[in-house]
Amino acid sequence: MLVNSKQIVVTGRLLKTAKLKSELYENVTDPDAFCGSLKESKIRADIFTFLQPADRSRSFSFYSENDPISVMPITTYENWWNKQINGKTRNMIRKAEKAGVQIRVCELTDEFVKGIQGIYNESPLRQGKRFLHYGKDLETLRQAHVSYADIGQFVGAFYKEEMIGFIKLVHAEGMSHLMQIISKVAERDKAPTNALIAKAVELCEARGVSLLHYGLWSARGLGEFKKHHAFERYDLARYFVPLNVKGKLMLQLKMHRKISERLPEKWADALVDLRTKWNTFRYGTGKA
């Protein structure tokens, strides 16, 4: 669904919320005009939500809440290596090199897609969740990774010519993004993910990029890993614009967020643990 040449997705049943499909890589420069076009379209939604530009240079008068993401400030690779990361992280990156892991900028060739498939098919679970890319055919995987060809880069981690990890790095306005970063669990001892992040910093410096984004900020899951690589909490304002009376009422009642987003952190942690145990039992593996 397109509005002003931007792809829109709508989620929710009781409350239908619209947003840009690629909201981290695209900006809404004139929200009033955009919401006007959204109302005139055939898209049925109660609320439109969008993020503040990544460089936080512009703000708007709509109701907003902070959305914390993980961002690494970058000046130079040397500064990152010497001052932003600790000795343990530097040793992990050196470990990858000593183990014979090679890091290369790659194209989305048939061979590279096969490498992606090999990584994805290692386990049906990732971080305690069902891994949605598990078992997909090559053409499906190719189509899933062709987006942002003009502003994206692929980097692969290879061990004895086998691809054991890769990243998709997207360079957008004001910030670059680790859109995908994944390595084989069985090769974790070779530290390919650490080496891939180091290469991403190097590529960002070469482009003069000052911010590298890597997912949402959270104390759970990958939180410590991100901190060790100099990622910090970075708050972007998320704006909510009611498109009709229902949207306005739900916003006033603070019912515009999913229930999962309003749970206390301890409850959320407990549910994550429960989900991990269930998926491990269901799929018969605890490897990812």
- CA-wise closest residue to 218 among 69, 87, 90: 69
Residue ranges covered by each domain of the chain:
2-67+236-283, 71-233
- CA-wise closest residue to 218 among 239, 201, 232, 205: 232
The pLDDT of residue 209 is 93
Among the ranges given (23-27, 73-77, 136-140), the one the predictor scored with the smallest mean pLDDT: 23-27
- CA-wise closest residue to 21 among 35, 33, 3, 36: 3
For 258-280, how does the pLDDT look when each residue is reduced to its tens digit (9 = 90+)? 665 655 556 555 555 665 566 56
pLDDT for residue 217 is more than 90: no
CB of 178 closer than 8 Å to CB of 169: yes
Among the ranges given (56-60, 61-65, 147-151, 255-259), the one the predictor scored with the smallest mean pLDDT: 255-259
Among the ranges given (13-27, 81-95, 123-137), the one the predictor scored with the smallest mean pLDDT: 123-137
CB of 166 closer than 8 Å to CB of 116: yes
Tokens of 273: 């643990």
Q: Is the Cα torsion angle 219, 225, 230, 236 positive or negative in sign?
A: negative
Distances (CA, A) of 91 to 23, 68, 87, 88, 229: 36, 29, 6, 5, 12
The pLDDT of residue 273 is 60
- CA-wise closest residue to 285 among 59, 67, 121, 57: 121
Q: Within a 13 Å sphere around the CA of 110, how many CA atoms are in the beta-carbon half? A: 0
Q: Within a 13 Å sphere around the CA of 123, how many CA atoms are in the beta-carbon half? A: 20
The pLDDT of residue 277 is 62
105 falls in which pLDDT band (50, 70, 90)?
A: very high
65 falls in which pLDDT band (50, 70, 90)?
A: very high
Let me know how long the chain is. Answer: 288
Instruction: Give the domain 71-233 fold.
Output: Aminopeptidase (3.40.630)
283 falls in which pLDDT band (50, 70, 90)?
A: low
181 falls in which pLDDT band (50, 70, 90)?
A: very high
Tokens of 267: 């409850």
pLDDT for residue 286 is more than 50: no
Q: What mean pLDDT do residues 176-190 have? A: 95
CB of 235 closer than 8 Å to CB of 70: no
CB of 92 closer than 8 Å to CB of 191: yes
Tokens of 165: 């990890």
| Percent of residues, the chain, with pLDDT higher than 70 | 88
Q: What mean pLDDT do residues 242-251 have? A: 96
pLDDT for residue 39 is more than 80: yes
Tokens of 129: 């969740």
Is the overall model pTM greater than 0.75, yes or no?
A: yes
